[in-house]
Amino acid sequence: MSVIYNRVALIGLGLIAGSMAHAMRRAGLATEITGYARSPETRQVAVEIGLVDRVCATAAEAVTDADLIVLAVPVGAMGQVAEEIADHLKPGAVVTDVGSVKRAVIEAVAPHMPEGVHFIPAHPLAGTEHSGPRSGFAELFDNRWCLLVPVEGSDEAEVARLAGFWQALGSNVDVMDADHHDLVLAVTSHAPHLIAYTMVGVADDLRRVTDSEVIKYSAAGFRDFTRIAASDPTMWRDVFLTNKQATLEILGRFTEELFALQRAIRLGDGDHLHAYFTRTRAIRRGIIEAGQDTDAPDFGRAVARRKAAETG
Amino acid sequence: MSVIYNRVALIGLGLIAGSMAHAMRRAGLATEITGYARSPETRQVAVEIGLVDRVCATAAEAVTDADLIVLAVPVGAMGQVAEEIADHLKPGAVVTDVGSVKRAVIEAVAPHMPEGVHFIPAHPLAGTEHSGPRSGFAELFDNRWCLLVPVEGSDEAEVARLAGFWQALGSNVDVMDADHHDLVLAVTSHAPHLIAYTMVGVADDLRRVTDSEVIKYSAAGFRDFTRIAASDPTMWRDVFLTNKQATLEILGRFTEELFALQRAIRLGDGDHLHAYFTRTRAIRRGIIEAGQDTDAPDFGRAVARRKAAETG
């Protein structure tokens, strides 16, 4: 591997930026990584664990002389950060982001970008339910997809360079337009997250089923929902507020389908239910064949327990 | 460990019965394990892999002289199996089941039980998305909960003996009444499964987002739903048809809550969303503290990848 961007500035030092720092070092992709986070506590932790080469007190300082600037803050904060750094960007620098919504980020960031700076939005489809500067790890992007969403007039050579950077971080790269991105993600991510948050909230509300029972007996399926519903609240608030239309559209389809299945339950239509549940099995097989999840039972939890039993 | 029931008959040879066979052998709990499955193919596989000591051609033959009989078939098949074995049960034998719904199983099975036979319904809260005679493993029940649901007149000493058996298989044991069981499971299992099936079905339906995109980009959250939605269709059809009332009640609450969150999105009420998402995080922490799931990011998928990277 070799250096792709000499100096890289990470604005925001959470799970994604932290994992990028680890993965850049693993592959030797930059000569200096600077970082900035709004919270003094986050900056302090980043210094302690040596997350980046230099932690800066302002975003402006972090981006000065940087060749690649990565906006890794919640989608709702992108516009303000873009405004803060605009006057400090080097001509020819590349500004990218890692936001989960693309149309809203483009509208918030693009107006602030000075002439001669390349703005190329991006979205790595990777994450865990953990957040903060200690949560990152170098393998987060390995074999995951990163979607590049070039804007009107994006320089092709710079898009290719950014694609090479993400590949060097371990990702596969696809290029997509913003509206299609926002619809696809509404299906594969935003609607599932809202549904998981809802189900966990309902369980929490039910007073006839005590908290302790919901927790003790969670292994029957519910615990998978709680993982998703433990994701960062600020990030997800912003996702829903900025990908409103596509998310509401998919949730509308979801509710329609849920009502049809509820009706089949009420009417005792077992054939309808069986056919539906058989069809959904095929999608799981597709995901495993595409290398996007493990075929180990229970996400490998069972294997982990077996290994623990063998060695213990 | 020592023998708790001399002869154990497993009726149905899928994930749960298979795992019980492995766990019984691990702990030396029986002197002979017999097995029966309706499908000749399943019986053939069970013989090939030596899943039990003796595979029988009929349920009646399998239960003859058995001290413990475990009904491990889909809930909708319990009544018929109970009828088939009734005349072949030894006086003093214990009949139990592993069905995910308890009121319906009691209504289907209890009328067939002869005088002098102890019927003690049970439900081990454990499973994976895999099914069939090859899917079982000895550790499935370790540190999971098994709920015993004694019926009117259940012998206390026999309930305690069955509890000891499940503990020897690795489980924790709680006792609960049937209606409360069915409500708790509607929350922690049945509603989450129907919701996951629905979301995966919606994704499959959307023609603007091709199958390939849904699969490629599933790591953004969707893939967790597909695991649940890959569970056995026959088993789940029967669960919904037999726990109709509680499941529909929880789904009603879910829909109400989902509409409230959709409304918050539409109105741009970020505070409502943020407060909701913060509250659901606490439940995840409770589950991890209760030892019912791993705190490893992404269910340990990330750790598995890191270890693969270290050794590869």
Q: What is the DSSP string of chain A?
A: ---SSSEEEEES-SHHHHHHHHHHHHHT--SEEEEE-SSHHHHHHHHHTT-SSEE-SSHHHHHTT-SEEEE-S-GGGHHHHHHHHGGGPPTT-EEEE--S-SHHHHHHHGGGPPTT-EE--EEE----S--STTS--TTTTTT-EEEE-PPTT--HHHHHHHHHHHHHTT-EEEE--HHHHHHHHIIIIIHHHHHHHHHHHHHHH-SSS-HHHHHHTGGGTHHHHHHHTTS-HHHHHHHHHHSHHHHHHHHHHHHHHHHHHHHHHHHT-HHHHHHHHHHHHHHHHHHHHTTSS--SGGGGHHHHHHHHHHH-
Please answer yes or no on whether A199 and B195 come within 8 Å at the CB atom.
yes
Note the pLDDT tens digit of each residue in B234-285: 999 999 999 999 999 999 999 999 999 999 999 999 999 999 999 998 888 8
**Mean pLDDT in residue range B191-214:** 88
Note the pLDDT tens digit of each residue in A227-285: 889 999 999 999 999 999 999 999 999 999 999 999 999 999 999 999 999 999 888 88
Query: Which residue in B has a C-alpha nearest to residue A230's C-alpha?
Result: B281
Mean pLDDT rounded to a whole number for chain A? 93
Q: In angstroms, what CA-CA distances link A89 with A36, A54, A166, B98? A: 15, 17, 22, 64
Residues 6+ apart with CB under 8 A from B79: B108, B109, B112
CA-based nearest distance B114→chain A, Å: 30
Lowest mean pLDDT among A12-26, A121-135, A238-252, B298-312: B298-312
**CATH 3.40.50.720 residue ranges for chain B:** 7-176
Please answer yes or no on whether B273 and A299 come within 8 Å at the CB atom.
no
The class that CATH gives domain A180-311 is mainly alpha
Write the residue in A218, A257, A297 that is nearest to B287 by C-beta: A218
- Tokens coding A83: 């405004």
Note the pLDDT tens digit of each residue in B135-173: 999 999 999 999 999 999 899 999 999 999 999 999 999
Write the residue in A195, A197, A283 that is nearest to B204 by C-beta: A283
The CATH number of B7-176 is: 3.40.50.720
Mean pLDDT rounded to a whole number for chain B? 93
CA-based nearest distance B90→chain A, Å: 33
DSSP B253-281: HHHHHHHHHHHHHHHT-HHHHHHHHHHHH
Q: Give the pLDDT band of residue A171 (cuts 50, 70, 90).
A: very high
Centre a 10 Å sphere on the Cβ of residue A39 and count the other Cβ atoms it contains. Answer: 13
Give the per-residue pLDDT at B278. Answer: 93
| A309, pLDDT greater than 60 | no
Query: Which residue in B has a C-alpha nearest to residue A278's C-alpha?
Result: B233
Q: Give the pLDDT band of residue B296 (cuts 50, 70, 90).
A: confident
Q: Give the pLDDT band of residue B307 (cuts 50, 70, 90).
A: low
Q: What are the chain A neighbours of B293 within 8 Å (beta carbons)?
A: 218-219, 223, 226-227, 301
Write the residue in A192, A211, A233 that is nearest to B278 by C-beta: A233
To test the contact with chain A by mutation, choose from B200, B280, B287, B289 the residue with the greatest count of A C-beta atoms within 10 A, namely B280
Give the per-residue pLDDT at A312. Answer: 45
**CATH 1.10.3660.10 residue ranges for chain A:** 180-311
Q: What are the chain B neighbours of A304 within 8 Å (beta carbons)?
A: 294, 300
